Amino acid sequence: MAKKFTFKKVLKIVGIFLLVVIIALAAAPFLFKDKIKALVLKSINESVDATVAFEDVDLSLFRNFPNATVNIDKLSIINKAPFEGDTLFYAGDVNLKMSIKELFKGDDEPMNLQGFSSSNAVVNVIFNKDGLGNFDIALKDQEEDTSTSESKPFALNIQEYAINNLRFTFLDEGANMKMVLDSLNHTGKGNFAQQKLDLETKTTTKVSFEMDSTNYMKNVTLSLDAVLGIDLDNSKYEFKDNKALINQLPLEFNGFIQMLEDGQLYNLTFKTPTSDFKNFLGLVPEAYAGNINQVKTTGEFKVSGKVDGKLTETTIPKFNIELASNNASFQYPDLPKAVRNIIIDTHIVNETGLMNDTYVNLDQLSFSIDQDVFNAKATIKNVAENPLVDAALKGTINLANVTKAYPVQLDKPLTGILKADVTTKFDMKSVETSQYQNIQNAGTLSLTGFKYEGPEMAKPFEIKSTSLAFNPNQIRLNEFDAKTGSSDLQITGGLDNLYGFLFKKQVLKGSFDMNSSRLVVSDFMAPTTTTSDDGKKTTTEAVKIPDFLDCSISAKATNVVYDNLDLKNVSGNLAIKDEAISLSNLKMDVFGGSIGLNGMVSTKGAKPIFNMDLGLNAVNIAESFTQLEMLKSIAPIANVINGKLNSTIKLSGDLTDDMTPNLKTLTGDLVGQLLSTTVNEKNSTLLTALSSNVKFLDVSKLNLNDIKAALSFKDGKVAVKPIDLTYQDINITVGGTHGFDQTMNYDVQFDVPAKYLGTEVTNLLSKLTPADQQKLERVPITANLTGNFTNPNIKTDLKQATTNLATQIVKLQKEKLVNEGTSALSNLFNGTKDNTTTTDTTKTTTQTPKEDIKEGVKNVIGGFLGGKKKKE
């Protein structure tokens, strides 16, 4: 009798089966991994002529069970010559989806792929100047005869696919054109095993496009949900059911695109599904237009178009695109003003299929805010060869009403009245070649009562009035009267190539005259360090001189305030070019004298640099060398000198972010002459210490008139060439070095008359013959100054010099004794006597000249070094 299966046994068997299946599913990746990796390598190596690499290949049976998933990690395809090193394709991961049974096929049987996906991929398609494309990497020697070629490792039977976060870049170096699709997400579902299928797609991306260095689109948001009818036999793709958004503008497409041997065939129509004026606001990115669903609108705005024809190397499809609005208006719910009477009539047309025959007609653009009306119209023709522009602007805009009618994101609202009545007609070749005689301008543009306040400005900026006159050859700035803080500016001049600057990124050329009664530099420069709301301090970048300026400025200012300096009668010429400012004949009254300046400041490199020649004429020494940090570092002792200075200074180095000299990089030299000077030693610890160490010197009585000094500085060190001074009948020579850190190493050489060494020395010298006295009349003494200017260390050889003097006196006295002894012996032998006995009323003493000299030397040294003097 057969045994009955209990429910418990059934569960046990099922459990064992599931366990075996799970173990098999877990073990399968290890069993088939090498096979899959070999198939991937074979598939790639048989197809492309490029450097292909991937980090690993994994197989999973759990992710899409009962299907298998092959994951290729960090796959890259790098071009070979002529695009050596360029990345054609990179993906963080690529996933291939297939049935599990495909894993058990033989090596000669292709595996059918049911789907694929990629994440974080990059695709770069490049055409070089020779017209070669980097995507042409298929092996050139592959056999076309499929009957003799090997079977492919993978066969396509795609049902679905997904692309997540792809960045696609198209660059045509020959046409100077670049298009970027960023953050591209795309999914598709359809049976590619059929020759005709409907593919359901969803796409979102951001589009940027530039040509000839002009940016036409930047991060324009696109989305498209579409059903595409695909005919693989005829390479035809038809738009069936679709919904597209350009920013927030809805569009619907109908028609098809077909791939041909010599190009593509287009037969498309598109239009806005509704005619609500919200469609126009939808063209503006949401970050600027806000939530347009809440905006109250009247009138219509329609976009419609037709594209019909072939795109080949020589032709483009014919097209007619129309943007139209009539008597429309809009008002945001939280803003007080409305924009009314909006008329838009624009056509973009090509009727021949030749690119150069494309033209743009802005027949009318007008609107009004309150009583202010603004009108514009323009045409652009001959777009491919030499674009011709004919435009006119006329109207008034109250800038204060702009933020009251449209949600412009400004920290502070604008104010001012803009009035325009301008016509212009020009061609781009004339702009590029500066043939201004071919440019026709006329009219005026004015701005009054303009006020602006922003984080990049140190103080609110106000333009009282400004006026531009558009002339055939030049745009004249007839008036510019502005104020910021306590500063005022008046500028007149002319611009030579405004259109070249606006349309072709050329430098802006001009010449201006600038006047000011008071110019405070801090009014124009925002602080380099700012504090945010959370208390954090951030440092802004260094000031950069614009690279688009090539202009000259003749400037005059009655009063200029820079830091703590008050400059008077400032005048000079400035030339701005190539991210540098050249200064010439710059003059100013300051420090009771005047300063002339020529030089250059450049911000082109990684660090701003300067090179200056200064001429100081009769400036107050103490003021200039205490108020200018740079001069204070070069000559820190100058603050004790009262008087005037003539000087020439050459210096260069780096600038800091706030455009002040970086003293560590300062290099140059200074030559100066002192005029009508006195010395106040009480202001200097160094001079006070020097006076106390050298008793015979009274620093306050030094004669510095007409003294010439020369010094050089580099790497934070200042070298002073020997300077000759006179104090009474003492000759002094000073020379040495000091650092910007105030450390010093100076030698002071004194040529001192012996009489300044005391009465003892004078008495001893008096006992010498006049000829011997003349030999010892002057004594050299050296003082060495080290440490720093506020804590000096002074050493002199005064003691040694005195000892040397005494030794010389002894020597000369010995010589005298010898001579006298010889004379005495001669007298003795000749019967005469030399009586050296001195008779006093109280006592009689006898002392030799030698003993007298020793006693005198002892008194000299002791007295000079501070010992008690013996009474005579």
How distant, in Å, are the alpha carbons of 838, 839, 845 from that of 842? 11, 8, 10
Domain boundaries, the chain: 20-137+153-175, 247-409
If pLDDT is split at 50, 70 and 90, which confidence band does 24 have?
A: very low
Residue 861, pLDDT above cutoff 60: no
Give the chain's mean pLDDT.
Answer: 80
Parallel/antiparallel/unpaired status of strands 549-562 and 565-577: antiparallel
If pLDDT is split at 50, 70 and 90, which confidence band does 536 have?
A: low
Facing residues of 670 across strands? Answer: 649, 711
Backbone angles phi, psi at 813, to 5 degrees: -65, -40
Comparing CA positions, the residue from 204, 95, 225 lying closest to residue 160 is 95
Residue 385, pLDDT score: 87
d(CA 240, CA 235): 16
Backbone angles phi, psi at 651, to 5 degrees: -150, 155
Comparing CA positions, the residue from 94, 245, 97, 77 lying closest to residue 157 is 97
d(CA 119, CA 124): 16
Q: Which range among 150-159, 248-257, 444-453, 659-668 shows the weakest confidence by mean pLDDT? A: 150-159
**Amino acid symbol at 426:** F
d(CA 416, CA 396): 11
d(CA 582, CA 763): 68
More confident residue, 452 or 31: 452
If pLDDT is split at 50, 70 and 90, which confidence band does 337 have?
A: very high
How distant, in Å, are the alpha carbons of 130, 177, 235 from that of 125? 15, 12, 22
Q: Please list, residue by residue across 503-522, b when 16 or more beta carbons sit within 10 angstroms of its beta carbon and e when fewer do.
A: beebbbbbebebbbeebbee
More confident residue, 290 or 689: 689
d(CA 566, CA 588): 10
If pLDDT is split at 50, 70 and 90, which confidence band does 270 have?
A: very high
Residue 497, pLDDT score: 78
Q: Which residue has 């002892």 as its token pair? A: 858
If pLDDT is split at 50, 70 and 90, which confidence band does 457 have?
A: confident
d(CA 305, CA 268): 8
Residue 840, pLDDT score: 45
Q: Tell me: the pLDDT tens digits for 701-744? A: 777 888 888 999 998 899 999 988 888 888 889 999 998 888 99
Q: Which residues have a Cβ under 8 Å from the Cβ of 17 and sit 6 or more positions away?
A: none
Q: Which residue has 């010395």 as its token pair? A: 679
Parallel/antiparallel/unpaired status of strands 838-839 and 792-796: unpaired
Q: Which range among 40-44, 193-197, 711-715, 725-729 shows the weakest confidence by mean pLDDT? A: 40-44
Is residue 614 a contact partner of residue 597, using CB atoms and an 8 Å limit?
Answer: yes
Average of per-residue pLDDT across 765-794 = 81
Q: Which residue has 């000249």 as its token pair? A: 849
Facing residues of 716 across strands? Answer: none
User: Cα-Cα-Cα-Cα dihedral of 472, 474, 478, 484, to 10°?
Assistant: 140
Is residue 280 a contact partner of residue 317, using CB atoms and an 8 Å limit?
Answer: no
**In this structure, what token pair is assigned to residue 671?**
């030559």
Q: Is the Cα torsion angle 750, 753, 756, 757 positive or negative in sign? A: positive
Q: Which residues have a Cβ under 8 Å from the Cβ of 144 and sit 6 or more positions away?
A: none
Q: Please list, residue by residue across 726-763, b when 16 or more beta carbons sit within 10 angstroms of its beta carbon and e when fewer do.
A: ebeebbbebebebbbeeebebebebebebebbbebbee
What is the percent of the chain with per-residue pLDDT over 90, rounded to a whole number?
29
Inter-axis angle of helices 798-829 and 849-864, to 10 degrees?
Answer: 170
Helix (H, G, I), strand (E, B) or coil at 835: coil
Q: Tell me: the pLDDT tens digits for 392-416? A: 999 999 999 988 998 887 777 789 9
Q: Tell me: the pLDDT tens digits for 340-388? A: 999 999 999 999 999 899 999 999 999 999 999 999 999 999 988 899 9
Comparing CA positions, the residue from 59, 193, 51 lying closest to residue 113 is 193
- Max CA pair span of the chain: 179
d(CA 706, CA 676): 8
Helix (H, G, I), strand (E, B) or coil at 191: coil
